[in-house]
Structure 1
């Protein structure tokens, strides 16, 4: 009601306009609709998106696409499992630019979706092998965002060269390159973060929601930023072990 009052504050409604209209509530409990935001300044082609993503997603059944403007596209799935699989395999990219997918809830409006968060698999390098546990993954990952999963064996360890976690992060913030951690009474140590399937991002500011020519730092520098000033280098990308 507060939102309605704000919108109508400067309006003088007629008697007809001010009367409420009762609408039938949606009969469905869930939707099979994803809305995607394509983080590129180029206008995406609906036909090209449908063709490319059908080959990438490899869904069992079909899905329809609808252009919502501002590089937002609706995907209506015939099968719930196809939708869940697409979300599980996030993040996706199109023409190397990030695509954020959001499952539309009943009653939700597309233009109210913020598209601020995306899930990434993050590799934590530099931890002692026996410290590569679920608790450590959750503790370190909570600095980055909401930890959705820690990849490990049945015994609760990850005995490889790094600890792998899935985190939902705020993409309006720079990617974190690592953290200084202290394990027990040992001396502090630096652990590095590497991101799997990382799309195009800015080496100057470390953000994935725009490219170089749209970066404020790039514009202010008049395209003269030197290589040594690009603090977020290509080493943020993970090795292709899980790609």
Structure 2
């Protein structure tokens, strides 16, 4: 909420006595904060926890995690809430879109303040989560079905753009606004056309502490009230850690050049490692050097071998064709053994030497080659 919004709300004030409403004073055209530099974008938040939070540590930690470009300041409110002020709308939008956020495994419920919102009384019980949809049956894998599942979980916000881009994904992601005062939904049933039922499982990304007995965020199962009234702690719990969507281990910083992108869009700009490498001809059995001409983008490289006559016919790689080769063997030059071998003649002939691993039992032909 900008300062101009506050000015609009307070432009016309009426002051009255609490005990005697007849005693009042009307003050028109009140200006609040006439400085142009006093601009802010506000949000309010609360932590779902019963523990006492040290505000200086909380403010320092969240500012370090958020890293707002233009800075952030906070104020602790009497109702165990925090008034959060950003100095650029882009910082506030990024923080709200990249949630949910946690502090010491406690969920931070945040809400953007609009003109007229009271930070001390505004409702704070909805948080956006990325939810993974697992085990979706074949025949239900469509954007319409994914959106319907998001509506079942809560209020659908958006779906992941990579859900149907050709990736070999094992699940689908949907952004959902969830009421944290209610228990989490771990699965749902879907009925096929044949009349059979299929179970779809859910995994929540960045899920904080929640109860494995009641499925509500904010406390563990050992602090569950009903656990003190005759519930066997060894029973199978209806919820579990499997509802968390894996670990938060960061991806490798360096991109592996051998790993091909999954999406069709990224594949158009990706170059395979073998596209610029040297292709050896299968018909050539000697270890002579091979040269390759640098191909144009989208072309198959041309291979030229010194011992073969190669006439390549190159087509576009995108057309699915391969390079055609016409190979003709060259005759080797005969070298007189009585004639001294010079450096030039040595470079013109190929000598293939095969030595047994044990060094013994070499044939007469091999020994003759060694004598050369």
TM-score (norm 1): 0.82
Report the alpha carbon displacement of residue 130 of structure 1 after superposing the two structures with TM.
5.8
Tell me if 1:144 matches 2:153.
Answer: yes
Structure 1: stretches of 5+ with no match in the other structure: 1-10
Tell me if 1:171 matches 2:180.
Answer: yes
C-alpha distance in structure 2 between counterparts of 1:191 and 1:205, whole Å: 20
C-alpha distance in structure 2 between counterparts of 1:198 and 1:71, whole Å: 22
Which protein shows a greater Rg?
A: 2
SS of match in other structure, 1:112? coil
C-alpha distance in structure 2 between counterparts of 1:115 and 1:150, whole Å: 24
Higher relative contact order (Cα pairs below 8 Å, separated by 6+ residues): 1
Tell me if 1:237 matches 2:244.
Answer: yes
Report the alpha carbon displacement of residue 45 of structure 1 after superposing the two structures with TM.
1.5
2:89 corresponds to which residue? 80
C-alpha distance in structure 1 between counterparts of 2:32 and 2:201, whole Å: 47
2:59 aligned residue (50, 59, 62): 50
Change (3 A) 1:94 1:39: same
2:132 corresponds to which residue? 123
Answer yes or no: is the 8 Å Cα contact 1:117–1:170 preserved in 2: yes
1:210 aligned residue (219, 233, 250): 219
Change (3 A) 1:170 1:20: farther
Report the alpha carbon displacement of residue 113 of structure 1 after superposing the two structures with TM.
1.5
Q: Per-residue CA shift, 1:152-183, capped at 9, x if unaligned?
A: 33856774101111100111110001001124
Tell me if 1:226 matches 2:239.
Answer: no
C-alpha distance in structure 1 between counterparts of 2:26 and 2:219, whole Å: 42
1:39 corresponds to which residue? 48
Report the alpha carbon displacement of residue 209 of structure 1 after superposing the two structures with TM.
3.3
SS of match in other structure, 1:111? coil
Report the alpha carbon displacement of residue 132 of structure 1 after superposing the two structures with TM.
3.0
Report the alpha carbon displacement of residue 25 of structure 1 after superposing the two structures with TM.
8.8
C-alpha distance in structure 2 between counterparts of 1:155 and 1:124, whole Å: 13
Deviates further, 66-75 or 193-202: 66-75
Answer yes or no: is the 8 Å Cα contact 2:127–2:178 preserved in 1: yes
Report the alpha carbon displacement of residue 76 of structure 1 after superposing the two structures with TM.
0.5
C-alpha distance in structure 2 between counterparts of 1:31 and 1:16, whole Å: 35
SS of match in other structure, 1:228? coil
1:15 corresponds to which residue? 22
C-alpha distance in structure 1 between counterparts of 2:79 and 2:198, whole Å: 44
1:96 corresponds to which residue? 105
1:64 corresponds to which residue? 73
Higher helix proportion (structure 1 or 2): 1
TM-score (norm 2): 0.55
Instruction: Give aligned pairs, total.
Output: 229
